[in-house]
Amino acid sequence: MAWSAGQQLPSLEKLITLEQVARYAHASGDANPIHLDPAFAAQSSFGRIVAHGMLGLAFVSDMLTQAFGEAWLASGRLRVRFRSPAYPGDQVVAYGQVTKSVPEGSERVVHCTVGLRRSDGQEIITGDATVVLPGLND
pLDDT (tens digit, 9 = 90+) per residue, 78-115?
A: 999 999 999 999 999 999 999 999 998 889 999 999 99
Domain of residue 106 covers 12-16+51-134
d(CA 12, CA 95): 7
Q: How many domains is the chain partitioned into structurally?
A: 1
CATH of the domain at 92: 3.10.129.10
Residue 97: which of 76, 77, 69, 67 has the closest Cα? 67
How far out from the chain centre does Cα 114 lie? 7
Quick check: is 102 in a domain? yes
Quick check: is 37 in a domain? no
Quick check: is 4 in a domain? no
Quick check: is 38 in a domain? no
**pLDDT digits over 111-134, tens only?**
999 999 999 999 999 999 999 998
